[in-house]
A and B are shown apart, each in its own frame.
Chain A
Amino acid sequence: AQSVTQPDIHITVSEGASLELRCNYSYGATPYLFWYVQSPGQGLQLLLKYFSGDTLVQGIKGFEAEFKRSQSSFNLRKPSVHWSDAAEYFCAVGAIEGGSQGNLIFGKGTKLSVKP
């Protein structure tokens, strides 16, 4: 069965520092991969997605992610974090199996805190 693991529950970085959030997935075929961000009390917003092609994908708000098939990873990065990036981040993998077409499987999230 497909699964997504985000090993870090909570990360704190200083404003201006670089950021990497880890995501590992388990999937039998080529996955569809997503990163979403959630501010407190809000819904989720899509940051970026990977379907095929270039393994380094650019997203909104200066984020990027790299798909590494050999490591089953899709880590999210940002060169310089801003205080407004404090939020919870979710990695998700697309699952196409029988009747579950189109459903995403989410990791448990990584909460990012930014210190001045």
Chain B
Amino acid sequence: DGGITQSPKYLFRKEGQNVTLSCEQNLNHDAMYWYRQDPGQGLRLIYYSQIVNDFQKGDIAEGYSVSREKKESFPLTVTSAQKNPTAFYLCASSLGGQAPNSPLHFGNGTRLTVT
């Protein structure tokens, strides 16, 4: 079955350390997204990529970085510059330019805790 895999499900880090969250999809989708979810705040867009080797900042990109070297993969690095990194992170994909506003397919998320 096709889908999106996020790993790990839970991640713990010490303050000051960078950490990379994995996101892989086998849906052959062009577009991939990273969202951050905090209680009562809904989903906020961090970064998105419409095509390999290209990505754009979302609404809350500060303190995060991404790469898109392969169509299937869109890892997110939470850097030490992110002031409040503890959150639930969701990766998603869609057909992107093939079908604008096509629905998003989500992974099951990674809960990051930084202490």
Contacts and interface: CB of A to CB of B under 8 A. Distances in A.
- Are A and B associated in one complex? yes
Interface of A: 9, 32, 34, 36, 41-46, 49, 51, 90, 94, 96, 99-104, 106-109
A113 to B, nearest CB: 15
A41 B106 CA distance: 12
B43 A103 contact: no
Interface stretch (B62-70, B75-83, B92-100): B92-100
A43 B50 contact: no
Nearest to B48: A103
B56 interface: yes
Contacts of A90: 42-43
Nearest to A91: B42
A46 B43 CA distance: 15
Interface string B25-51: 000000101000000111101001010
Contact of B103 (A34, A101, A106): A34
Given A36-B106, A100-B56, 20 more contacts: A9-B40, A34-B103, A36-B104, A41-B111, A42-B108, A43-B106, A44-B90, A44-B104, A46-B104, A46-B105, A96-B100, A99-B56, A101-B96, A101-B97, A102-B97, A102-B101, A104-B104, A106-B43, A108-B40, A109-B42
